């Protein structure tokens, strides 16, 4: 069933990818200096399954977004090396400090190809409201 759904989505992929890129570019421009935004190297591309950002004030920002009815998600709450499935490898907190730093600060904003400028403005405005 999932394969059938994904197969039908392939017919609109060429249309949706540029739309996702525009959404990401708009977020990058609007959020610059507020949070750490994603960087995609010039010789690479992204399909923007999620739009993940980093903030030292993650919980406050998530709460502000929630107050305004804007969903957000923490898809990566725990670094891989600290997950139960990798416990047998013997990794401990502190073994991968950059990964741990990111896991404490990362969260995702709404991302889909049909997110219009007005909706994005509303999402971004929630960051600055106190």
Q: What pLDDT score was predicted for residue 54?
A: 98
Domain ranges of the chain: 2-128
Q: Give residue-wise pLDDT tens across range 34-93.
A: 999 999 999 999 999 999 999 999 999 999 999 999 999 999 899 999 999 999 999 999
- Share the mean pLDDT of the chain: 93
Q: What CATH fold (topology level) applies to the domain 2-128?
A: 3.90.1150
pTM (global) more than 0.95 = no
Instruction: Give the pLDDT of residue 118.
Output: 97
pLDDT score for 129: 61
- Phi and psi at residue 73, to the nearest 5°: -150, 150
Q: What share of the chain is helix, strand, coil (3-state, %, to 5)?
A: 55, 10, 35
């Amino acid at each position: 069933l999932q394969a059938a759904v994904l197969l039908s989505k392939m017919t609109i992929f060429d249309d949706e990818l540029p739309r996702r890129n525009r959404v990401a570019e708009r977020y990058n421009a609007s959020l610059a200096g507020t949070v750490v935004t994603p960087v995609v190297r010039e010789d690479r591309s992204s399909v923007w399954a999620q739009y993940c950002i980093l903030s030292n004030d993650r919980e406050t920002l998530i709460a502000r977004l929630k107050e305004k009815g804007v969903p957000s998600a923490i898809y990566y709450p725990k670094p891989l090396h600290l997950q139960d499935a990798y416990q047998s490898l013997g990794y401990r907190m502190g073994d991968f400090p950059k990964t741990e730093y990111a896991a404490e600060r990362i969260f995702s904003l709404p991302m889909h190809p049909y997110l219009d400028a007005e909706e994005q403005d509303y999402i971004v405005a929630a960051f600055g409201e106190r």
